[in-house]
Chains A and B, each alone.
Chain A
Amino acid sequence: MKRPLQRVLLVEDNPDIRTIVKAALEMVGGLEVRACASGAEAFKALEEFDPQLALLDVMMPDMDGPGVLAGLRVLPAGVNLPVVFLTAKTATAELERLRALGAVGVLTKPFDPMTLHQQVKDVWERVPPA
């Protein structure tokens, strides 16, 4: 049986969105969130935080979301880490491109902060047990 979702690694460069996602998932969803402003910060936090799921913004300077996903896949703690993309680009082709990269889910912005935790948990429910 799969463990309930508890720890989420968030990578988001926009400080407004980073703050609200972290607060929404923690205060409403009861999750523990490690919020990182960049892929480099996330790679450093990965082993110590041991997330069950990563929530990655797509459009970021320096290293975008797909770049962070590729970086996670070469790290022992990130090889099998389920990844969900968070994107403001909602065209069907873009959503399909992100899923094809290996994401278990794609959530779109803007989002409802009150129900975001449920969206994340719904994706987690669809992830096969490790």
Chain B
Amino acid sequence: MTAEAFKRQLEALAADYRRDLPEKLAQIDSIWRDLMHGAAQPDRITELQRELHSLAGSAGTFGVAGVSEAAAKAESFLDPYCARRKIPGLAEQAKFTTLLDALRRTAS
């Protein structure tokens, strides 16, 4: 196997990753909506952060660095809430929604 063969595989993996990105974002949106509307237990905020963390760690590797950075910002925002397993208050929810909007725009 050569670096050239890997480059070709990498391009294919990156294309798959970008194709699946909307689904990953939809999953993040779904958890966030459930949390905001009380349809999910507050401890699911750690699941939301894990999804964002996963995106922050993977997107840049697959060539979508902007998504990585936007996901990392949203992930960091949740740090204090995850530590307390607490859903952000209304004003903070609006800020977080803005971060998710920015993430979605970067990915599109």
Contacts and interface: CB of A to CB of B under 8 A. Distances in A.
Contacts, number: 60
| Contact count band on A | 20 to 34
Interface stretch (A18-26, A32-40, A41-49, A65-73): A18-26
Nearest to A114: B3
Interface residues of B, number: 23
Contacts of B10: 20, 23-24, 113-114
Interface string B2-19: 110111011001000100
A19 B13 contact: yes
B60 A114 contact: no
Chain A CB within 10 Å, residue with most, of B10, B13, B54 = B54
A61 B65 CA distance: 24
Contact of B60 (A19, A61, A109): A109
B9 A16 contact: no
Given A16-B58, A17-B57, 10 more contacts: A14-B57, A16-B13, A16-B17, A24-B10, A27-B9, A28-B1, A28-B6, A59-B53, A112-B61, A114-B10
